[in-house]
Each structure stands twice: as structure tokens, then as C-alpha cells.
Amino acid sequence: MSLRLRLTILYSALTGGILLVFGMLIFFLVSVLLVNQVDNILTAAAREVLGRVRFNTYGRLSLSEFLRSDLMAGVSVLLLNEQGEIEYDSTFILDPETPFETNNLQKRRQEFSSVYIEGFHLRVLNIPLKVGARQVGTLQLAYNTSNLSATRQALLQVIIIAALTSTLVAAAASWLSLDRALSPLAAVTETAMQITHADDLSRRIPLEGLANDEIGRLVAAFNETLERLERLFNSQQRFLADVSHELRTPLTVIKGNVALMRKIGVTDTDLLAGIEEESDRLTRLVVNLLLEAQAESGKLPLHFAALELDTLLLEVLNEMRVLARDRVRLRITEIDQVLVNGDRDRLEQVFINLISNAIKYTPAGGTVFIGLAKVGENARVIVRDTGVGISKKDLPHIFERFYRAEKSRSRAVDSGFGLGLSISQWIITHHGGRIEVNSVEGKGTTFLIYLPLLKAETASPAGQAA
Ligand code: ADP
């Protein structure tokens, strides 16, 4: 059963049910009030009559004076003797041969009852007449409630018809409004199916005309998911193309060098160096891919221990001097003694990645500044360069897997694979820290890493903040 049909049935059943319950309540309330009113009339009339009832020495019952019809307000009176025979009858209603009712004749208390005789609905008040302790007869007063019964009947019909009509109206209204409200969902389904069938992630569900309600937000969220999926899908495709290219280039060089050496029949050191360089590049690619896959599947183990970050950073800097040679200057701006809880090898990898990127993307004569300080409860590492910078377009994406800025993609020789920053970010966030970047194209780039200090290391925020 469709959601639309289910909701329509639910709404209309609720509307009809609620109306019916309220209608019934009103019906019973009105009935009770009407009966009460009639009972009051009967009680008032009984008072009038009781004052006039006489019991003579022959044991007969009679009334001392006539009953005035204005006082009786439509109430009929029967006086019955001990045997239940009629002694007096003022009835305007019935053929006066039988009592209004016989069930309560023997009762010793006055009783109200409702009876239906000869086509009339009567409300009857039965009052035992006593002389001393002896019951000498019964006074019966009756009020014709046939009109009231007809009114109640009509009320009941109105209630049932109103409940049925509103159920139908509610059903029609729900059916139509749900069609409007749920139609975007049909669009979502259709788009999802189209995407599946046509393998086309670029489709979006139009947001125009949709209210900012649950469905509008669902569609917006769905579009965002598609956007992300499309980006991811594109970057993976690009990555596959890149990896194939990256693999092919060094393999071609290696194969070419080997072929050349075979041809000339001697082992040439330059050709061997070329083979070694390309093999190193291949190894780097494979290692990075493996790391990325492990991080992605959550299987990259981190071995935490107390770690002197300043010592580690200085070690990395010494390694990096080889890479920088005389081309780029490496400067330390400040270096505090800092203890963190971290995985030495992984953090070393992060620093190598950031500093080698800084060197790589800084033209000859530029400078890379490195600093380590305590800031509040964190250690802050700054790697700033005076290099090519990152464009505004690329900046939001550089931590994405396989993302490489257009400029760096063309740098065939020492370009990376767009994996370093995404792995670095994974490592830093899994240390409870964060990594930030600021960059101005053509001026330079600054990477900031914040890592929580070891508890005993936490400096007073005012003291060390730089
Ligand atoms: P890669 O191995 O390609 O350098 P990364 O993940 O380390 O991959 O970096 C992603 C991209 O971010 C790089 O391709 C480059 O375009 C850009 N990038 C990173 N660091 C810098 C920097 N210091 N200066 C300019 N661009 C940078």
C-alpha cells in the first residue's frame, strides 16, 4: 500500500472517529438533559396532584378538585387502587383501560421509567400512595416524549451524516494535498533511478518551487550527497588516470635504460641512476597508496607514546636540508620543548610531507620557515613558505584524496600523487589535533598543525600563547 493511501486512510479515519466520538458525547448529553427536564416537569406535576388525592372510607381514591391543565403542562395522571385498577384518569394520551406501566406498581419507592406503548414514547413517574404504613394505591404521571425521541433520532442522524461527510472530505483533501506534498519524493526516486540506469552522477533534483520543509531539506541533502559522490567519483577517475600515467612513465624510463645498456653492452652509471630514481618513485607511490588504503579502511595502526616533538622536527629538518640544497633556505623561527602523545613514525611522515611540499612548491631563492610553540593546551607547528601558493579554487580541496592543484599536476618530474595531505590530515585528526592552511597565490602558503600537549605539558594559556 502506498504511503499516500496509508496517510489518507489514517487522516480520514482520525477525522471521522474524532467527530463520531464527540457527536456521540453530545448526543448522550442532550438525551440526559432532555430526560432530566421531563423528570423535573413530572416531579412538579406530582407535587400538584399529591395535594389533591383523597382516600375515602370505602377505600376509593379520588381527586378533591380538577387539575388545571396549565399547571399540569401536558402531564397525564392515573390514580390506581391497591389492585392496580384505574380510579381516576386525566389522560389525554391513551385509552384509559390500562396503567401506563405495571413493573413498578409494587415498588415502595417512587420510580421513573421510560416505556413505549401504543405507538407512544412515555416517561412515567410511579409514586406509591400510603396511608400510614399501608399502600392504598399508586399515582402514575406520564409525559409524552415522542417528539423528544424524534428530535434525538434526528440529532443522531445529523451526527452520523456529519461524521461520514467529514470523513469523505478529509479523505479527498488528504489525497489531493498529499499528492502535492509527496510529488517531490517521486522526483527523488525517479532521479535516483535515472542515475542508476544512466550512470550519470551529474543529475540533480530541481529545488525550485519546493518549500523549506522536510521534503525540501531532503531534496537539498540528496543533491548535496550527489554533489559529493560526483566529486569523489571524478577524483577517483582522475586518480586512476594519474596512477596509470605515473606508473607508465617510470616503467618506460626503466625499460628504455635497460634496453640501452643491453645495446651498448656496458653498465652505465647514469642509466643506472635513472633506473634507481624511477624505482624510488614507484616505491613511494605504492607505499602512499597502501597507507591511504589502510587509513581509509581504518586499519592504519597508530602506536602512541610520549614524544619530544622538537627533537623529531629537528631530525626531519636535517633530512630536508638535502632536498632543499642551496635552492631554498630552511629557517627555524622558534622551537619550544614540547611533549605530545603520538606515533613517532606517522608524525615524522606528516612533517616530511609538509616541509617537502613547501620546498617543492617554492622557487629557487625562496625560504621555508618552520616553528614549534606551545599555544594553550596545544603544540603548534607552523610550516610557511614563500612559494607559488594555492589558488582559491584549489584551496578547499587540497586535503581531498588524489587532489592535485592544476599547476602541480603538470610538474611531471617531482610531482606527488595528491595523497600526502589527505594522509597527513588523517594522522593529525587521529591524534586529536587539527591541520589548517592559509595561502595567497604567488606569495606563499602556511600550514598550521595543532596537537594536544601531554597532560603534564599543558602550559598556562596566557604564558605561552604566541
Ligand atoms: P602531492 O604529493 O601532489 O604534493 P599533497 O596531498 O601533499 O600531494 O598536496 C596536494 C596538493 O596541494 C598539491 O598537489 C599541491 O597542488 C598543493 N600544495 C600542497 N602544499 C603546497 C605548498 N606548500 N604550496 C603550494 N601548493 C601546495
Got the DSSP string for 205-265?
Answer: ---TT--SSHHHHHHHHHHHHHHHHHHHHHHHHHHHHHHHHHHHHHHHHHHHHHHHHHHHT
pTM of this prediction?
Answer: 0.52
Flag whether pLDDT at 408 surpasses 70: no
- What's CA 386's distance to the chain center, in Å? 48
Flag whether pLDDT at 410 surpasses 70: no
- Cβ pair 380, 450 in contact under 8 A: yes
- Cβ pair 78, 89 in contact under 8 A: yes
252-276 residues labelled b (16+ CB within 10 A) or e (exposed): ebbeebeeeeeeeeeeeeebeebbe
- Cβ pair 341, 375 in contact under 8 A: no
Flag whether pLDDT at 119 surpasses 50: yes
Lowest mean pLDDT among 7-21, 172-186, 448-462: 448-462
Flag whether pLDDT at 464 surpasses 70: no
Topology of domain 3-152, CATH? Beta-Lactamase (3.30.450)
CATH entry, 214-297, from 3.90.1690, 1.10.760, 1.10.287, 1.10.3660: 1.10.287
Mean pLDDT of 202-228: 82
Q: Considering the chain, tell me which residue range(s) the CATH 3.30.450.20 domain(s) occupy.
A: 3-152
Q: Considering the chain, tell me which residue range(s) the CATH 1.10.287 domain(s) occupy.
A: 214-297
For the chain, the average pLDDT equals 86
Lowest mean pLDDT among 304-308, 345-349, 431-435, 458-462: 458-462
Find the distance separating the first CA and the last CA of the chain, reported in whole Å: 65
- Cβ pair 435, 420 in contact under 8 A: no
Residue located via cell numbers 587532489: 403
Flag whether pLDDT at 197 surpasses 80: yes
Report the pLDDT value the prediction gives residue 458, as an integer from 0 to 100. Answer: 53
| CATH code for residues 305-458 | 3.30.565.10
Of the pLDDT bands very low, low, confident and very high (cuts 50, 70, 90), residue 217 is: confident
Report the pLDDT value the prediction gives residue 215, as an integer from 0 to 100. Answer: 79
- Mutating to test ligand 1, I would choose from 383, 392, 421, 428 the residue with most ligand atoms within 8 A of its C-beta, which is 421
Of the pLDDT bands very low, low, confident and very high (cuts 50, 70, 90), residue 304 is: very high
- What's CA 410's distance to the chain center, in Å? 46
Higher pLDDT, 241 or 282: 282
CA of 326 relative to ligand 1 center, distance in Å: 21
Q: Is the C-alpha dihedral spanning 451, 457, 458, 461 positive or negative?
A: negative
CA of 404 relative to ligand 1 center, distance in Å: 6
Site residues for ligand 1, CB cut-off 6 Å = 353, 357-358, 361, 385, 387-390, 398, 403-405, 408, 415-422, 445
Higher pLDDT, 118 or 112: 112
Q: Considering the chain, tell me which residue range(s) the CATH 3.30.565.10 domain(s) occupy.
A: 305-458
Q: Which of 324, 396, 318 is CA-nearest to residue 356?
A: 324
Lowest mean pLDDT among 98-107, 260-269, 294-303, 437-446: 98-107
Report the pLDDT value the prediction gives residue 414, as an integer from 0 to 100. Answer: 58
Distance between CA atoms of residues 120 and 77, nearest Å: 16
Of the pLDDT bands very low, low, confident and very high (cuts 50, 70, 90), residue 441 is: very high
Of the pLDDT bands very low, low, confident and very high (cuts 50, 70, 90), residue 95 is: low
Flag whether pLDDT at 152 surpasses 50: yes
Q: Whose CA is nearest to atom 19 of ligand 1?
A: 357
Mean pLDDT of 335-363: 95
Flag whether pLDDT at 412 surpasses 60: no
Of the pLDDT bands very low, low, confident and very high (cuts 50, 70, 90), residue 249 is: confident
Mean pLDDT of 148-171: 91
